Amino acid sequence: MLSGTTLFSTSDVTACTGNTDDDAWFSFQLPENHTSALFKLQSDLGGKLGMQVFRGECTNLILQECFDSPWIDDISGLEPGQTYWIQIYTLDDRAAADFTLSLAAGPMQPDNDDCVNATSITSYPGYFVDPGPQSTAGATNSGVRLCYPFDEKTPDYAYDVWYSFVTDYTGGDATVTIHFNDPPVNEYEYLNFHLQGFEGQCNNLTTLSCLQNDDVKSGFKDSTIVMNLYGLKPATSYYFRVLTSSDTRNYAPVDFTVFAEGTAMEGTVGIEDHGADHQGLEITRYYPSPAHNVLNIDYVADDYTRSQLYMTDLLGHVIQQKELLTRQGENHETLQFDQVPSGLYIIYIENEKGRSQPKRFVVE
């Protein structure tokens, strides 16, 4: 916390708003791994205050943010380790002011700040796993274009976090629900909330749906956005992002929860329960565990049929798939895999009648 005054000071830089005939200057260096800073500017005595934040050198300052009244604010999109400059001044050229400035590094940049590092909400194809409380705190702008209502132009201030899910083996429809925790209305008067769904790869995304919470400006009456995605392919990864935006200024981070369901998410009943839909197909033994590059699998079936053997990671991504000609009774199969990272994996067998109980094993 710093105390200062503009009394008897002169002006060095023209302000973005108001009349600057006096100012006081401070600098700070943002810590590594942080992309935002928290400011609180309070006028203790005198005129109304304004504040500007710059990056660059004193001889070549670049405006980062402009404030025209005392705020508690979170400036996002900053560069870790960068030095920033703060100019505090009175808006009225006939007044001076004493003030108090509080400054702290904001939250660290979230792991899911871009598509490549999206948080998976399925630990098995079609099986939703609650990622827990979520937030846009510390997020930056991934640069992916936004659709309606901005005609694919991303607003000046936009910060997003990313998620992915894998559909089950039949595909179908999915509904993604984002519920925002109720924030103070005065801090969010001009803030927009968006939910955008994609198909494809992170380097080549196609928008499937793009929604905005239109009730924010009228007092945040609707704190939920529901996105419906139709005709999703089986066992396929899809992405969505939660984005906050404003054309005028930065705002504090937003907290929310995530939920997904639908015909493409039938695995939501759970890994163990979902595997019980075909009692006549069972993996009885699998070895060795830990395995290195091959796994032996013994299983029994109640009839002759063609089946599929799947190996997936805990996020539901298919690592290996093999077609089996299943005989009635006892069967043996080997599954070979190379260059698979160490970790915990899942195997199961599936045919037209259903799926065997999934089994977990370790790869070293």
Structure-model confidence comparison of residues 188 and 218, the more confident one: 188
Q: Which of 105, 136, 161 is the last residue of a domain?
A: 105
Q: Are 142 and 260 part of one and the same domain?
A: yes
- Read off the amino acid at residue 219: G
Ranges 2-16, 185-199, 254-268, most confident: 254-268
Give 166's strand partners: 237
Q: Are 166 and 206 part of one and the same domain?
A: yes
At residue 237, the pLDDT reads 94
What distance in Å separates the CA atoms of residue 278 and residue 223, rounded to the nearest whole number? 41
At residue 216, the pLDDT reads 45
- Read off the amino acid at residue 154: T
Q: Are 7 and 68 part of one and the same domain?
A: yes
Q: Are 248 and 120 part of one and the same domain?
A: yes
Mean per-residue pLDDT over the chain, rounded? 80
Q: Which of 71, 105, 139 is the last residue of a domain?
A: 105
> Which of 68-82, 146-160, 267-281 shows the lowest per-residue confidence on average (mean pLDDT)?
267-281
Q: Are 180 and 251 part of one and the same domain?
A: yes
User: For residue 140, what are its two tokens?
Assistant: 């930056």
At residue 247, the pLDDT reads 58
At residue 273, the pLDDT reads 41
- Read off the amino acid at residue 246: S
Cis ω on the peptide bond leading into residue 288 (within 30° of 0)?
Answer: yes
Q: Are 65 and 128 part of one and the same domain?
A: no
Q: CATH code at 344?
A: 2.60.40.3080
- Read off the amino acid at residue 92: D
Q: For the segment 207-256, what is each residue's pLDDT rounded down to a tens digit?
A: 999 887 754 444 445 567 889 999 999 989 999 999 887 655 555 578 88
At residue 269, the pLDDT reads 39
DSSP category for residue 6: -
DSSP category for residue 274: H
Residue 110, in any domain of the structure: no
CA distances from 348 to 96, 103, 281, 282, 300 (A): 73, 54, 10, 9, 12
Share of the chain above pLDDT 70, in %: 80
Boundaries of domain holding 251: 115-269
Q: For residue 87, is pLDDT > 80?
A: yes
Number of structural domains (the chain) is 3
Note if the pTM is more than 0.75.
no
Q: For residue 159, is pLDDT > 80?
A: yes
At residue 18, the pLDDT reads 65
Q: Are 91 and 128 part of one and the same domain?
A: no
Share of the chain above pLDDT 90, in %: 23
Q: CATH code at 231?
A: 2.60.120
Q: How far does the chain reach from its first CA to its final CA, in angstroms?
A: 52
H-type alpha helices, 95-229: none
Q: How far is CA 278 from the centre of its chain?
A: 36
Q: Are 67 and 162 part of one and the same domain?
A: no
At residue 276, the pLDDT reads 45
Structure-model confidence comparison of residues 189 and 351, the more confident one: 351
Q: Are 119 and 265 part of one and the same domain?
A: yes
Q: Are 48 and 9 part of one and the same domain?
A: yes
Q: For residue 64, is pLDDT > 50?
A: yes
> Which of 82-86, 247-251, 354-358 shows the lowest per-residue confidence on average (mean pLDDT)?
247-251
Q: CATH code at 84?
A: 2.60.120.380
What H or E segment, with its residue span, contains residue 104?
Answer: strand 97-105
Q: For residue 290, is pLDDT > 60?
A: yes
Ranges 65-69, 103-107, 174-178, 288-292, most confident: 174-178
- Mean pLDDT over 169-174 rounds to 90
At residue 164, the pLDDT reads 97
At residue 272, the pLDDT reads 42
Q: Are 165 and 264 part of one and the same domain?
A: yes
What distance in Å separates the CA atoms of residue 362 and residue 288, rounded to the nearest whole number? 9
Structure-model confidence comparison of residues 11 and 45, the more confident one: 45
Closest by CA position to 297, among listed 330, 248, 328, 265: 330
Q: For the segment 30-60, what is each residue's pLDDT rounded down to a tens digit?
A: 888 787 787 778 777 777 888 888 999 988 9
Q: For the segment 126-145, what is each residue's pLDDT rounded down to a tens digit?
A: 888 888 889 888 888 888 88
Q: For residue 29, is pLDDT > 80?
A: yes
Q: Which residue has the tokens 């700040």?
A: 113
Q: Are 89 and 155 part of one and the same domain?
A: no
